[in-house]
Amino acid sequence: MLRRFLLVASPFLLAVAQAASPRQVAITIDDLPSSEVSLSSEADLAARNARIIAALRGTNAIGFVNENKLEVDGAVSAARLQWLRDWLAAGIALGNHTYNHNGLHATAIADYERSILDGERQLRPLLAEFGQAPRWFRHPYLQAGQEDALRTRLDAFLGEHGYRVAPVTVDNGEWIYARAYLLLRNAGKHDEAQALIPEYIDYLEAKFQFFEQASKRLFGREIAQVLLIHANALNADALPALLERLRRRGYDFVSLEDALADPAYQHADGYRGRAGISWLHRWAMAEHKPKVFYEGEPAVPQPVLDLAGVDGE
Cα–Cα distance, 179 to 310 (Å, whole number): 9
Are the C-beta atoms of 30 and 229 separated by less than 8 Å? Answer: yes
Backbone angles phi, psi at 164, to 5 degrees: -125, 140
Q: Stretches 25-33, 84-92, 123-131, 239-247: which one binds Zn ion (CB under 5 A)? A: 25-33
For position 31 contacting Zn ion by CB under 5 A, the verdict is: yes
Q: For Zn ion, which is the closer residue by CB, 24 or 278?
A: 278
Q: Is there a cis peptide before residue 140, judged by omega within 30 degrees of 0?
A: no
* Distance in Å, CB of 210 to Zn ion, minimum: 22
**In whole angstroms, what is the distance from residue 158 CA to residue 165 CA?**
8
Task: Provide the pairing of β-strand 75-76 with 71-72.
Answer: antiparallel
In the complex, what is the shortest distance from the CB of residue 102 to Zn ion, in angstroms, rounded to a whole number? 10
C-beta of residue 31 within 8 angstroms of C-beta of residue 48: no
The 118-147 site mask, x for binding Zn ion (CB under 5 A), equals ----------------------x-------
Give the total of residues touching Zn ion (CB under 5 A).
3
Nearest C-alpha neighbor of 26 from the set 127, 158, 139, 167: 167
- The most distant pair of C-alpha atoms in the chain lies apart, rounded to whole Å, by 79
Among 30, 171, 212, 262, binds Zn ion (CB under 5 A): 30
As measured in angstroms, the least distance from the Cβ of 189 to Zn ion is: 26
- The interface region with Zn ion, picked from 31-39, 125-133, 187-195, 208-216 by CB under 5 A, is 31-39
Q: Which is nearer to Zn ion, 174 or 212 (CB)?
A: 174
Q: Rank residues 31 and 262 by Cβ distance to Zn ion and give the closer one.
A: 31
- Positive or negative CA dihedral for 234, 239, 241, 243? positive
Nearest residue to Zn ion on Cβ basis: 30
Min. distance of Cβ 220 from Zn ion in angstroms? 32
Considering the complex, state which of residue 30 and residue 262 has its C-beta at the smaller distance from Zn ion: 30
Asked if 179 contacts 308 with a C-beta cutoff of 8 angstroms, the reply is: yes
CB of residue 49 vs Zn ion: minimum separation in angstroms?
Answer: 16
Which residues contribute to the site for Zn ion (CB under 5 A)? 30-31, 140
